[in-house]
Amino acid sequence: MEPNLIIEAIKFMILGMGVVFGFLAIMIVILKIQGNLLPKLFPEKKENSVQTKPMSNKGPAANQSAKIAAISAAIQHHNNVKG
């Protein structure tokens, strides 16, 4: 092959990789700016809702019965869908 064609191929490869690298660098900068700007423009609203305690604080008996109820419901749903 001619050395001129190999040099041209290498130039195109470097140009292509440079374009991709530049695009990704610009995209990262834009996403970081967006990540910092959006929370300032649209802050999250805090709701004053009543917080419920998780089931694990009610004791092991309530937790065990909740697990049994969930398993029973899943088996019943599976049987209804199956047949």
Tens-place pLDDT, residues 5-40 = 999 999 999 999 999 999 999 999 999 999 999 989
Domain assignment present for 28: yes
pLDDT band, very low/low/confident/very high, at 53 (cuts 50, 70, 90): low
Whole-number pLDDT of residue 58: 62
Position of tokens 């749903």? 77
Domain assignment present for 22: yes
Q: Which two three-digit tokens encode residue 67?
A: 């697990």
pLDDT above 80 (res 61):
no
Domain assignment present for 50: no
Q: Which of 26, 25, 3, 23 is nearest to 11 (CA)?
A: 3
Domain count, the chain: 1
Cβ proximity of 66 and 55 under 8 Å? yes
pLDDT band, very low/low/confident/very high, at 75 (cuts 50, 70, 90): very high
Domain assignment present for 71: yes
Residues 57 and 66: their CA atoms lie apart, in Å, by 13
Domain assignment present for 15: yes
Residues 6 or more apart whose Cβ sits within 8 Å of residue 55: 62, 63, 66
Domain assignment present for 49: no
Could you list the residue range(s) of the whole structural domain that residue 74 is in?
3-43+56-82
Cβ proximity of 31 and 38 under 8 Å? no
pLDDT band, very low/low/confident/very high, at 74 (cuts 50, 70, 90): very high
